Amino acid sequence: MARFTAEAGSARLFWLRGGRLATGLVALAVTLLGLLAFTFTLSHLSPVDPVLQIAGDHASESTYAQVRSELGLDQPLLMQFWHYLTHLAHGDLGISRLTNSPVASDLLRTFPATIELATCSMIFGAFFGIVLALVAAWKPGSLVDNLARLVSLLGYSVPVFWLGLLGLLLFYAVLHWSAGPGRLDDIWIYTLEPKTGLVLIDSWLSGDPEMFRNAVAHLWLPVVVLGLLAMAGITRLLRAALLEESSKEYVTLARAKGASRGRILLLHVFPNVRGTLITVLALSYATLLEGSVLTETVFAWPGVGRYMTTALFASDTPAILGSTLLIGGCFILLNALADALTYLTDPRTR
């Protein structure tokens, strides 16, 4: 009887986990479909006429009608959306009217630069944000705690583009500590063989130490500027989670037994907020991918953000929609990954 009950409990747990997984996958698919519908709607709400962009302002009525038919704009809206999904399933995001090349190829060329900048910024922000939050929760009300709250406030209130311009003025124009905008100086930018698209790795693989140092000199300032944004969010949310967890009864009991505050914080409190930490890190990384638009523009960083900004000024609708879809898809997938990791690492969420 006990064996039958155990087997029944295991089967029930299996079906519950399978149902939760299926529900999560359906929710992810619906969210992605909603993003696709949103980007498709944006293309039709744009005041720019794609037919006139191709045919020209002085095109005849017959030419206008022919181009409109070739683009499929004379078909019903649902049929246009179906064709949009079909082309997207084959990796076709359209042709950029600015570069005259496939948008998918442009994004494959520019996305590694954004990934490199966002990842390095995330490492910087996560390390200092977690350390600062732990020290602030260890001694609440202290000087370090007040510093943590000040960093969080400044990180949320100071615009990224203003901080980037100020950093260029101070560290590039005045102190000459930074190599300035771009990823490399002109002496190396045309000689570097792009193997991975990541300038740090490619310059390291080139075997030229001067090129690698130049890549680091170009990278560190935008990393610090963008990393401060992640650092502010991580410090604020993790500090609040640690202080809330520290107020629970098991912490009071551990302190009554003589355990030190630092030991309790590192061995008991911090592991119990790992779900919150995973969510914060995922959201921060997604925010860095999205917030890199202004940073890449200020530092002339040839990533997706700068590509999107250039497309906006040129009214390049396919490039704008492709960039929006890429960043939005990353945001959705990172959220789904955070939920999955929280489910796997925190038994309280099961």
pLDDT tens by residue, 84-103: 888 888 888 888 878 888 99
Q: HSE of 61 in the Cβ direction (CA atoms, 13 Å)?
A: 0
What single-letter DSSP state applies at residue 349? G
Whether the pLDDT of residue 288 is over 50: the answer is yes
> For 14-23, 77-86, 150-159, 254-263, which range has the lowest pLDDT when averaged over its residues?
14-23
Q: What share of the chain has pLDDT > 90, as a percent?
A: 18
Instruction: Give the angle 111-116-122 at the CA atoms, nearest 5°.
Output: 120
Q: Which residues of 237-269 are buried (b: 16+ CB within 10 A; e: fewer)?
A: bbbbbbeebbeeeebeebeeeeeeeeebbeebb
Query: For residue 288, which of 160, 110, 105, 134 has the smallest C-alpha distance?
Result: 160
Q: Give per-residue pLDDT as tens, 55-95.
A: 766 777 777 777 777 777 778 878 888 888 888 888 888 88
d(CA 346, CA 337): 14
- pLDDT band at residue 7 using 50, 70 and 90 as cut-offs: very low
Question: Closest by alpha carbon to 35, among 330, 278, 345, 349?
Answer: 330
- 28-43 pLDDT, tens per residue? 778 888 878 887 787 7
Question: CA-to-CA distance for 96 and 81, rounded, in angstroms?
Answer: 19
**16, pLDDT greater than 60:** no
Could you report the per-residue pLDDT of 270-280, keeping only the tens digit for each? 888 888 888 88
Does pLDDT of 242 surpass 60?
Answer: yes
Among 79-88, 193-202, 301-310, whose mean pLDDT is lowest? 79-88
